[in-house]
Structure 1
Amino acid sequence: MDQSNDVASWWRTSIIDMEPGRIGLRGYDIADVIDHAGFVQMIWLMTRGDLPSPEQARLLERALVASVDHGPQAPSIAVARMAVTCGVGLNGAIASAVNLLDDVHGGAGEQAVELLTRVVDLIRDFASPEEAANRALDGWTAAHGPIVPGLGHRFHKDGDPRSPALLAAVDAARDAGVVSGDFALAARAVEAVLSHRKGRRIPINIDGATAVIFAELGFAGPLARGLFCLSRSVGILAHAWEQMQQGGRNKGPTPPAYRWLYDGAAPRRIAIDN
């Protein structure tokens, strides 16, 4: 088929090639992919262009599993459940929820990859990782404000229970030569410096731990956010489906007996000139 004409070259892709009776993904026949690739391998293949090693796939899978859900109080999950009670189907509920996963709720992983990359780039110029982290934090807070992505948690005050297992997996992968361990070192240095500045421990949270994994595996920052969206979509689907089974109609964020705080003008009437 001639690829030089305007119609054929309107969209260009190295991801998929197909014709009637044949589908190729990144050069692999679809039947071969179905037989030999799991879903995590498929994510890697589609976003990166090749297949991961078993060890790389397992590390990526840990990050995806860890981020699936964090309860119905999470805004994205709450929106999905409310959408279902408004008559929205599963696809609409998922779309509504994923649209909330932006810079504030869902974007910390991408931001943490950016911050940790700065630390890694600076480490060679400083005597210790902590000095590099100190410089990177100064630059980050000057540009973005006091919130440091990937550390601390409003709910898990004493430490995110997901992070230790993920960081231990990174350490094991480093020892096995699967990853460098540079980003894990950077994250721990940021944790130490920020905790010193605050006068209390500010532990690495799920966004920071998964950012370490994504960065160690070579995923770009924007893909870190995309991977989080994929992971959280599983929890969103589960909650939306559960809400469908439970029923309910037009459920808002709080039960009807609870009212919002009104702090506007006192009751008044419109003056009408005769």
Structure 2
Amino acid sequence: MSEPRFPTSLGMSTTSTITLLGEDLAEDLMGKVSLTELVYRMTTLETPTAGQVRMLDACLLALADHGFTPTAIAARLTYLSAPDSVQGAMAAGLLGGGSRFLGVTEDCGRFLHAIIADLADRGGTVPSDDAAWDAVARDVVREERAAKRIIPGLGHPVHKELDPRTPALVRIAHETDSYGPHLALFEAIGRVHPELLGRTLVLNGAGVVGAGLADLGLPISLLRGFALLARAAGLLGQLAEEERMPVGMDAYLFVEHHADFVDPTTLAEDD
């Protein structure tokens, strides 16, 4: 019986060489290929254009750091508890990337992709102008409203008037020929939802990133992975700042000194 084989198109090593994607890491890639390009190539097995690299880089930058978010606080507090474990602090921050923080990138990308795929399955053509996209978007908003579902990426907890990332990402997508149906549909939702919902919500920049990543042809199932990749860079910056200007101990002591005991029997009686 033959021994099992484990196929890969990615990294391979010998006693004196390292190859990645079938190319010599030291000679063909290092100093010639950016990390952004490498990530694109490793996930799609295709070589991106310069424009696609620029768009992907912009998407990653848009998600890198947003200040004292729960993911950053988790990383800082873990670093406070275990300063010998940078990997633990980084992991703690990344584990917080879920449905409320960072997850909207994946959720929005999947949502838009499902609608576009459904258009194709029904034999429809992809709209070619804003008016046609607006018609599709109206149907989408009506359906989601009737089902009492939230449209991923519509609205932001802080940016109530404008998420500054949104117009920048749309502009870069046009400049790099990376603008596609996902961004077109999401922009259409942004245009038509006020007339149907009776209020205006901003297009969340993280949701726009999801649309942009989908238009780049990146795997829909891995969109949250790209958000985590971006946030890993931000968390590294947070840990560096924690070393320069520590706030972890103050945050811990503030909560500790403002904790109030609540009699559990009282809670049980209230239930």
TM range, smaller chain: 0.7 to 0.9
Counterpart of 1:24 in 2: which secondary structure?
strand
- Indicate whether 1:49 and 2:45 are aligned: yes
**TM-score (ref. length: structure 1):** 0.82
Identify the match of residue 135 of structure 1 among 136, 139, 151: 139
**Partners of 2:72 and 2:93 within 8 A in 1:** yes
Q: Distance in 1 between matches of 2:172 and 2:260?
A: 45
- Aligned pairs for 1:66-145 (under 5 A) are 66-72=62-68, 74-88=69-83, 89-121=85-117, 122=119, 124=125, 128-137=132-141
**Partners of 1:118 and 1:136 within 8 A in 2:** no
**Partners of 1:119 and 1:132 within 8 A in 2:** no
CA change 1:125–1:206 in 2 (3 A) is closer
CA shift at 1:140, angstroms? 5.2
What are structure 1's unaligned runs of at least 5 residues? 269-274
Corresponding letter in the other structure for 2:37:
Q
- Indicate whether 1:30 and 2:30 are aligned: no
Corresponding letter in the other structure for 1:165:
A
Q: Which moved more, 1:242-251 or 1:79-88?
A: 242-251
Q: Percent identity?
A: 26
Q: CA RMSD in A?
A: 2.8
| Corresponding pairs, count | 257
CA change 1:130–1:86 in 2 (3 A) is same
Corresponding letter in the other structure for 1:235:
G
| Structure 1 match to 2:203 | 204
CA shift at 1:258, angstroms? 2.8
Q: Distance in 1 between matches of 2:9 and 2:111?
A: 30
What are structure 2's unaligned runs of at least 5 residues? none
**TM-score (ref. length: structure 2):** 0.83
Q: Distance in 1 between matches of 2:213 and 2:43?
A: 12
| Structure 2 match to 1:228 | 227
**Partners of 1:44 and 1:52 within 8 A in 2:** yes
- Where has structure 1 moved over 6 Å in runs of 4 or more? none
CA shift at 1:262, angstroms? 4.6
Corresponding letter in the other structure for 2:230:
S
| Structure 1 match to 2:3 | 6
Identify the match of residue 158 of structure 1 among 158, 161, 166: 161
CA shift at 1:223, angstroms? 2.0
CA change 1:237–1:192 in 2 (3 A) is same
- Indicate whether 1:188 and 2:192 are aligned: no
